[in-house]
Structure 1
Amino acid sequence: MQSVFFPLSSPRLRYSQVNGIKTIKLDFPMIVAEMKRLHRKCCWFATIQLISITVVIKVFYYYACGIGFENFQPVLFCSIPEKVYYSPRPRVVNTWNENFLISGQNICRDSQPYLLLLFLSIPKSGDKRAAIRKTWTRVNEWPDFKVKIAIKTVFLFGKYADERENDLIVKENDKYGDVIVGNFVDSYRNLTLKVLTGLYWVRRYCAGAKFVAKIDDDTFVNMPLLYKHLETIPQLNSPIFGYLITNSTPERNGKYYISYNAYPFNTYPPYTTGNMYIARPETFSAILDVAKNQPWLDMEDVFITGILAKIANVSHLAYPSGMYFPRKQAASCEFVKNTKLFSKDYSAKDVRNAWKIITEGRNKCL
């Protein structure tokens, strides 16, 4: 680590570069020495100016970084130590609207499910939702699956500028009663907000579920195999179950750009990909408890299952090796043979075709 002092009569600044991250630090011992020197020379105006600048900068970074004076580090761009970054912060810096435009408050009122499937969806994916409702989520229609468990599905939306899309969602809910709409603008950049709103809904209206799966609406899941693995998840210190990513690095340009201000470190903590991850409601509740006090990232899976999970001391349980391949769609027969747990990038047609093979054409796979 190299340090260079700038020859300023105002607060001393120090330029540092560590692991490729450039920061400028205020050197407060040098500031005190400068105050004493100016005071001896009776430079009252310069002394007052120095004190004012120091106070303004310190207060600015306290509010900018939101880490509290007890954890204060006078570093430009909020490049704070990793230990501090992953500690619960004392001040609320983000929140979500706790009121819902469509609350879905009756979905779990009469009975709490074994598994709640929380789908993230958009209005134009109506055909996917129709296929999901009629195929693999009907757990008691899976061949050779004799366990009777209750599954509930909910589809989560925000609000849209096009009122026709909002009206479409209202009509769909009138028909199926499985829709919830949060009071936020639905967009890619609001994906983290969307998921946190959904998890808050779970805590408020369906906290009695045994497990909750956050899942994308282009996903096909092998429900009997999923049940087998869920039964192995411990009750105490329950982890997040998902496809685990380790040693992933932030992208500093492109679609998934994350600035050094937003995340100042070179690697993310372990996290699970956002296609599907599962946990008990109390695990997600622990993550919600620290979410409002942490500046949010647009990368929903990294932020929720990685950063927030680390702050909340939530561990991970990885899918068994080979049960999911993120770069290739699983073949229908892989579900019949129980060699794949789930697959992504399924269109409505893909879902129906896979379900037809699973329920009617299994002999072709054996």
Structure 2
Amino acid sequence: MNSSKLITFGCVALLSLVLIKLYFVQTWFKSNGKFVSRISSRGNRTVVLTPRSNISTAVVTTPFTVRPTIYPQMPLVTQPTLSPNCSATTRTATVCIVCFIISPPNNFVLRQTIRDTEGSISYLNGFNIKYVFVLAKSTDENINKRILEESEKQKDILFIDYVDTYRKIVMKSLTILQWSSENLPSHYFVSKSDDDVRISKTTLTNHLTKLLNTSNVASPERPTLGKGVENFPILCGHTLVKNGYPTRDQNSRYYLSTDEYKPNTLPSYCNGAMYVTSVATSKLLYASVKQEEIMPMEDVWASGILRMKLGKEDTNIVKLEPGFAFHFPDLSTPQAQAKIIEHLKKEITILKNFNVSYCC
């Protein structure tokens, strides 16, 4: 090979090396000062993002598990223990309801009264029923210690590592969405209520049965999920509020600043005393949560704003008559206990016509 051909060959080889180097530079170095590896098609593989100034420390990790959600996570102190069939009875039912009851930290007596009375109904009208109390921390560490003891004994407390205040009740609703989405099957049902709300479970289960479309069920005591559970609406137990307005009065407990909520009208929503839906719907609501959009009025936020994000207007919220949630706020503990017992006595006269089981 003569010298001219050697020179030509050398130039071609050099040019090829330059092009190859440019290709890898463009492939590995990208904007924003990051070092990014191409993802191999042979299994899960990624690279830790590293500043250019520290390229030599980039580490390939394989396999890599991406967290499936990026929604806000509430830290938990204790969690409830639910039996596999959602109830402590031997009954076989096709539908389970987990009733989440929001309760102030120091309401020990009222929670126990609920357990001993209406909370003892574990099977009704074809539904297994379980109860979970949702609590946030007190500023009094003695109360927090007692809550831990209560939780250890009862196994029915979802205890949030968050100081309890009225304007942070929304964090309890967020926790209900979070915990039910991560721990309950999609075909379960969940309700949110307060511990000063009495619930007619006969009416509640009748309404759920109606919405679940049980026309093909041989026995009225065996409601089935049908096809409606995936798109189950939010069912209001107390009041469906339409055409509402945010309260701009700073002296009101329902005050919403324009920073917290800018529009001058509210979406349709369930009064926070009580609402219920399927876990499948709860998962959709939780998936739409954005940290910066959380607002103090939990009922407007959960059953209104999050619900509207699902893009179905008002087709996924409903109030059936008669209502099944009765709110008795601002009662002393003895008055509240008396109201619970009074309500249960009325319910028992109706329960005689149903197949009912009591736990504990």
- TM-score (norm: length of structure 1): 0.62
| 2:231 alignment partner in structure 1 | 237
Q: Deviations over 1:74-133 (max 9, x none)?
A: xxxxxxxxxxxxxxxxxx7x8233x411122x324x334610000111122222212221
| 2:51 alignment partner in structure 1 | none
Q: Deviations over 1:211-239 (max 9, x none)?
A: 10011111111112211100122324211
Counterpart residue identity of residue 112, structure 2: A
SS at match of 1:277: strand
Mapped partners of 2:318, 2:261: distance in 1: 25
Matched, 1:118 2:118: no
SS at match of 2:127: coil
SS at match of 1:307: helix
Q: Deviations over 1:301-346 (max 9, x none)?
A: 011111111012354343224x24xxxxxxxxxxxxxxxx221117
SS at match of 1:225: helix
Q: Deviations over 1:255-283 (max 9, x none)?
A: 22212222221110111111000000111
Counterpart residue identity of residue 288, structure 1: Y
Matched, 1:318 2:318: yes
Mapped partners of 1:101, 1:362: distance in 2: 36
Report the CA distance shift for 1:316/1:168 in structure 2 as closer, same or farther (over 3 A). Answer: same
How many positions carry a matched residue from both structures? 248
Q: How far apart are residue 361 of structure 1 and its match?
A: 10
Counterpart residue identity of residue 95, structure 1: P
Counterpart residue identity of residue 248, structure 1: G
Mapped partners of 1:350, 1:206: distance in 2: 31
Q: Conserved in 1, the CA contact under 8 Å of 2:105 and 2:164?
A: no
Give structure 1 stretches of 5+ with no counterpart: 1-91, 325-340
Mapped partners of 1:232, 1:202: distance in 2: 23
Mapped partners of 1:357, 1:249: distance in 2: 36
Q: How far apart are residue 185 of structure 1 and its match?
A: 1.8
Equivalences for 1:19-58 in 2 at 5 Å? none
Mapped partners of 2:278, 2:350: distance in 1: 35
Counterpart residue identity of residue 183, structure 1: D
Mapped partners of 1:216, 1:134: distance in 2: 17
Counterpart residue identity of residue 127, structure 1: V
Report the CA distance shift for 1:236/1:101 in structure 2 as closer, same or farther (over 3 A). Answer: closer
Q: Deviations over 1:117-176 (max 9, x none)?
A: 0011112222221222122233368xxx6x343111010111222111101111211221
Mapped partners of 1:100, 1:150: distance in 2: 26
Q: Deviations over 1:52-80 (max 9, x none)?
A: xxxxxxxxxxxxxxxxxxxxxxxxxxxxx
Mapped partners of 1:208, 1:320: distance in 2: 23
Give structure 2 stretches of 5+ with no counterpart: 1-69, 88-95, 212-227, 330-335, 353-360
Mapped partners of 1:361, 1:307: distance in 2: 36
| 2:63 alignment partner in structure 1 | none
Mapped partners of 1:125, 1:313: distance in 2: 38
What RMSD over aligned residues (CA atoms) do the two structures have, in Å? Answer: 2.6
| 2:185 alignment partner in structure 1 | 207
| 1:258 alignment partner in structure 2 | 256
Q: Conserved in 1, the CA contact under 8 Å of 2:186 and 2:278?
A: no
Counterpart residue identity of residue 345, structure 1: F
Mapped partners of 1:169, 1:95: distance in 2: 24
Q: Conserved in 1, the CA contact under 8 Å of 2:103 and 2:194?
A: yes
Q: How far apart are residue 294 of structure 1 and its match?
A: 4.6
| 1:100 alignment partner in structure 2 | 76
Mapped partners of 1:310, 1:164: distance in 2: 41
SS at match of 1:274: coil
Q: How far apart are residue 297 of structure 1 and its match?
A: 1.1
Q: Conserved in 2, the CA contact under 8 Å of 1:238 and 1:283?
A: yes
Counterpart residue identity of residue 256, structure 2: I
SS at match of 2:114: helix
Report the CA distance shift for 1:102/1:209 in structure 2 as closer, same or farther (over 3 A). Answer: farther
Q: Conserved in 2, the CA contact under 8 Å of 1:96 and 1:193?
A: no
Mapped partners of 1:174, 1:164: distance in 2: 16
Counterpart residue identity of residue 82, structure 2: I
Q: Conserved in 1, the CA contact under 8 Å of 2:230 and 2:281?
A: no
Identity of matched residues, %: 26
SS at match of 1:285: helix
| 1:139 alignment partner in structure 2 | 121
Q: How far apart are residue 203 of structure 1 and its match?
A: 1.4
| 1:342 alignment partner in structure 2 | 325
